[in-house]
Structure 1
């Protein structure tokens, strides 16, 4: 006997519909591949693809070098260092992903349906690291990665489609997925980075492709257990007889769109607030490779493992953040989402100040203790444990039901725009030097924190959540 929520009376996944297990495997594979490949991507770009001495035979590589060189104002890509070109490419990909992100959400909501949109996205994410496993096809994998990320974001929107409105298991479902995601983010850089360090970059990309392929196959084999929400049928639905909208329906729709207009204006502000966090996945890996003392007991830790270090600390700080809010709510009234994001953005500005201080104390050579890095990650991840998930909770809460996939994709634009800013800053690292580089991050985040505090004052009434729904950030996973 099949249930409305997509489960059956005899088959469950930890007390949830079996579709959640399928989504969990696909999500774990996605994040393993995404962060595993990203942990070695910037190293490959700087040391191989854009290394003039290496001269890899890459289809389209010559044009890409010169295009990026022109973009950052050098005129000729060959005259620009590999580190600057690598940072510029990461930022360019993030910029290209922004319009594709919205298009992907609209296609999933209005044309393909969320199941088919996600399946296509997962397939693209499988092809991308497969093409990166060979020098000559590396550039061809870049558009597959951009399109795959745009479509696969609808995987998050499907979780809510598994449950009836008001089902208390939904919060547990998001928390289960958060654990899967955190484990994947820890393992991805460890496994892919280790393979790249000991068997070459292409071995690391090949491992990512195999894991992503497994996740995509699991999603397709579990097709029957996946939800088919109303959004999947929007493209074929026809109006029929039925009761008209109730009193206040138009006012509710108007309010939602007014709130969405406010949130659209907050996108660049939230992007600035996250720029220090997004730099971790960009130039920070190269910076850490050059400046951290990574040798322990005679063994050198691969620079790509810095992402696993960040993920492990992130898991601990998420638990600490949840405990903080529960303790806070026992004594005080819980603030709204925008207030929480503003408060923790102030903390986020302190993280790059740690690295600026470390660089000022040790300006030459790889002499910075990794303890400085652990302190940086701890402060940054504690701040992001509120800024990112609670910000997403705010966007999802005010989105119209038929556009949730599009709104999730729109929220992901914040990260993409932050990637663009981080990439531009990364390209400036050789000219700025380490101390000014990290001070620039702290200044941008501080500006964002001030703007968020102002927005919290101006729009508190419009953005205030309903009673009993204030602490939603811990129930939403990161995009």
Structure 2
């Protein structure tokens, strides 16, 4: 399977792997750093986490537009990577002076801001370049995005292990080393991309991709048909509808960085033969499951396609939401064993992350590929950014939902009339939300397929 793809895919794989190492190394430590080093409370931490991750996914709207109109993908990726590296090093300095909150907090916010801005240039452009390596209609695109997604998750797997081991030691002074490792990872990403882009980033016929768009003369602009066809509009509508459902998936899935981190830190037995596993290591479960099961699902979709029984992309995404709901059902059952002096077995979290991973594999790489196939060429990066806009809304919503995490000494939170009196109530909220979204999307699949006009 690997030899069938252009070498440029593996350059983008490596570039994204190291960038995700940087981002997820940061994410594994972020909530813990805010609480342990900066003395933020959980509610504020959850809200800030949601705002930060939301803006991380909102900024690609600007970056995608600038790339499409002025810079091209390559320059945008380099600028974005430099900004993100600077942000990680700002967090390193914040961690170095954490005892001086008047200095540490502004440095912390500065670091987050730089990462947000850098991600805006980096994320939509590297994702859209994957599709540009292939001819339109190439059946290998779904597999290419799955391989690319494995790169994302290889970086995501290594990040909590490396950055978590260095930073999540129980000593607040050590967080800086985790952030430093994340910054170094971003520099490696830039080095790989910058040194090999000229050699490998081209179409099958040898045309370079990712360059700044050629400026059209006034006469050429008059001759170019800027109108969108009915098919274009239908397909863009499908992107919009699916983006809406993606909000429900990621707002639940992204609890990994906040409420599930709180659960792992405070209420989960992390002891293995006398050794206590760092909380941040749980965030490696999802990517390691991706690495194990992404090839399995890729083979499954390929096998079903050969027999003309492969589900349409919206159906796969609905299945992803239902699997996410099942994962939260597992954890809603698991937290019931928590009591005075009794913590939950970590196996419940392992089972939940496994189901969440299967759901993610049904939704995320499929969605990335589908946006690339449905989007009109001249709006490819911008519509990829719209896809990430849904992620922005989801992450913002995730922070709000995490704020309902029950905590001793606080009044019982209420969400839309649902009183959350314990952890089981809290996680049941996500069971219901993901299940309803998945069921509705499943019902809409037929309508969406018609508006996709042959794209699956």
TM-score by length of 2: 0.84
Instruction: State whether residues 274 and 445 of structure 1, in contact with CA within 8 Å, keep that contact through their aligned partners in structure 2.
Output: no
* Cα 1:169–1:443 shift into 2, 3 Å: closer
Deviation of residue 415 (structure 1)?
A: 2.2
Q: 2:210 and 2:354 mapped to 1: Cα distance?
A: 39
Q: 2:292 and 2:253 mapped to 1: Cα distance?
A: 16
Residue 148 in structure 1 maps to residue 124 in structure 2: no
Instruction: State whether residues 270 and 448 of structure 1, in contact with CA within 8 Å, keep that contact through their aligned partners in structure 2.
Output: no
Instruction: State whether residues 124 and 144 of structure 1, in contact with CA within 8 Å, keep that contact through their aligned partners in structure 2.
Output: yes
1:85 corresponds in structure 2 to 44
Instruction: State whether residues 109 and 231 of structure 1, in contact with CA within 8 Å, keep that contact through their aligned partners in structure 2.
Output: no
* Cα 1:278–1:465 shift into 2, 3 Å: farther
* Cα 1:303–1:356 shift into 2, 3 Å: same
2:32 corresponds in structure 1 to 43
* Cα 1:197–1:332 shift into 2, 3 Å: same
2:246 to 270, 282, 287: 270
Instruction: State whether residues 231 and 453 of structure 2, in contact with CA within 8 Å, keep that contact through their aligned partners in structure 1.
Output: no
Q: 1:457 and 1:174 mapped to 2: Cα distance?
A: 24
Residue 105 in structure 1 maps to residue 64 in structure 2: yes
* Cα 1:16–1:349 shift into 2, 3 Å: closer
1:188 to 156, 159, 163: 159
Q: 1:406 and 1:456 mapped to 2: Cα distance?
A: 25
Residue 369 in structure 1 maps to residue 345 in structure 2: yes
Q: Over residues 115-173 of structure 1, what are the superposed CA-to-partner deviations in whole Å (9 max), with x where a residue is unaligned?
A: 11111111111111100002222221111111111111111222333455566776665
Q: 1:366 and 1:212 mapped to 2: Cα distance?
A: 40
1:224 to 186, 198, 204: 198
* Cα 1:171–1:456 shift into 2, 3 Å: closer
Q: 2:442 and 2:244 mapped to 1: Cα distance?
A: 15
Which deviates further from its counterpart, 454-463 or 128-137?
454-463
* Cα 1:411–1:316 shift into 2, 3 Å: same
2:215 to 219, 228, 236: 236
1:66 corresponds in structure 2 to none
1:285 to 227, 236, 261: 261
What SS does structure 2 have at the residue aligned with 1:113?
helix
Deviation of residue 102 (structure 1)?
A: 1.0
What SS does structure 1 have at the residue aligned with 2:343?
coil
Instruction: State whether residues 395 and 407 of structure 1, in contact with CA within 8 Å, keep that contact through their aligned partners in structure 2.
Output: yes
* Cα 1:237–1:456 shift into 2, 3 Å: same
* Cα 1:256–1:129 shift into 2, 3 Å: same
Deviation of residue 183 (structure 1)?
A: 1.8
* Cα 1:241–1:271 shift into 2, 3 Å: closer
Deviation of residue 383 (structure 1)?
A: 1.4
Q: 1:103 and 1:266 mapped to 2: Cα distance?
A: 21
Instruction: State whether residues 261 and 279 of structure 2, in contact with CA within 8 Å, keep that contact through their aligned partners in structure 1.
Output: yes
Q: 1:15 and 1:386 mapped to 2: Cα distance?
A: 22
Which deviates further from its counterpart, 158-167 or 295-304?
158-167
2:415 corresponds in structure 1 to none
Instruction: State whether residues 142 and 366 of structure 2, in contact with CA within 8 Å, keep that contact through their aligned partners in structure 1.
Output: no
* Cα 1:210–1:377 shift into 2, 3 Å: same
1:179 to 130, 150, 158: 150
- Stretches of structure 1 lacking an aligned partner (at least 5 in a row): 1-12, 52-81, 471-479
Which deviates further from its counterpart, 96-105 or 291-300?
96-105
- Stretches of structure 2 lacking an aligned partner (at least 5 in a row): 95-103, 407-411, 413-419
2:82 corresponds in structure 1 to 123
Q: Over residues 267-318 of structure 1, what are the superposed CA-to-partner deviations in whole Å (9 max), with x where a residue is unaligned?
A: 2322103333221133211221111111001111000000112211222232
Q: Over residues 72-113 of structure 1, what are the superposed CA-to-partner deviations in whole Å (9 max), with x where a residue is unaligned?
A: xxxxxxxxxx11111110111234345422111111111211
Q: 2:363 and 2:331 mapped to 1: Cα distance?
A: 21
Within 5 Å, give how 1:401-416 maps onto structure 2. 401-416=377-392
Q: Over residues 377-407 of structure 1, what are the superposed CA-to-partner deviations in whole Å (9 max), with x where a residue is unaligned?
A: 1111111111112222222211011121112
Deviation of residue 420 (structure 1)?
A: 1.4
RMSD across aligned positions (CA): 2.9
1:208 corresponds in structure 2 to 182
Instruction: State whether residues 331 and 348 of structure 2, in contact with CA within 8 Å, keep that contact through their aligned partners in structure 1.
Output: yes
1:75 corresponds in structure 2 to none
1:435 corresponds in structure 2 to 424
Instruction: State whether residues 94 and 417 of structure 1, in contact with CA within 8 Å, keep that contact through their aligned partners in structure 2.
Output: no
Q: 1:338 and 1:172 mapped to 2: Cα distance?
A: 17
Q: 1:183 and 1:155 mapped to 2: Cα distance?
A: 16
Deviation of residue 190 (structure 1)?
A: 0.3
* Cα 1:162–1:332 shift into 2, 3 Å: closer
TM-score by length of 1: 0.80
Q: 2:150 and 2:189 mapped to 1: Cα distance?
A: 17
Deviation of residue 455 (structure 1)?
A: 2.2
Which deviates further from its counterpart, 140-149 or 384-393?
384-393
Deviation of residue 254 (structure 1)?
A: 2.7
2:416 corresponds in structure 1 to none
Instruction: State whether residues 145 and 368 of structure 2, in contact with CA within 8 Å, keep that contact through their aligned partners in structure 1.
Output: no
Instruction: State whether residues 31 and 181 of structure 1, in contact with CA within 8 Å, keep that contact through their aligned partners in structure 2.
Output: yes
* Cα 1:456–1:365 shift into 2, 3 Å: farther
